[in-house]
């Protein structure tokens, strides 16, 4: 399994939130900012008020897995921050919905190379 480059520092997340564009799916919100690198960097932000640590980690795992499936066919050079849509119920957590949301957003952005 290939290692994913991640956003780690607070200023990196703030930069994407302030200067990037956002797209809303059913269960996720994606902030996107073009970077000057030859790879994508991924950040996942889940609020502690949303649920307990076990559930937050489950959400992050499913988002990461969906991103890894789509990353192979996508263009490089973006900073991506995924956020859980607070209007959605945590009990409705579904990998398939997250995958479809991510794919639709990447197609809308024009960074997914459709075969």
Tens of pLDDT, residues 44-101: 999 898 889 999 999 999 999 999 999 888 889 999 999 998 888 888 788 998 999 9
pTM attached to this predicted model: 0.89
Element (H, E) at 54: helix 53-71
Strand extents, DSSP E, the chain: 21-24, 28-34, 41-45, 78-84
Residue 46 DSSP class: -
3-state secondary structure of 112: strand
Closest CA to 80 of 39, 32, 44: 32
């Amino acid at each position: 399994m290939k290692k994913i480059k991640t956003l780690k520092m607070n200023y990196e997340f703030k930069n994407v939130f302030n200067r990037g564009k956002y797209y809303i799916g059913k269960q996720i919100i994606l902030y996107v900012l073009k970077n000057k690198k030859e790879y994508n960097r991924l950040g996942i932000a889940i609020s502690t008020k949303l649920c307990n640590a076990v559930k937050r980690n489950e959400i992050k795992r499913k988002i990461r897995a969906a991103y890894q499936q789509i990353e192979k066919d996508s263009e490089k050079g973006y900073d991506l921050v995924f956020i859980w849509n607070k209007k959605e119920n945590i009990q409705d957590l579904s990998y398939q919905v997250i995958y479809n949301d991510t794919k639709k957003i990447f197609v809308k952005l024009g960074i997914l190379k459709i075969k």
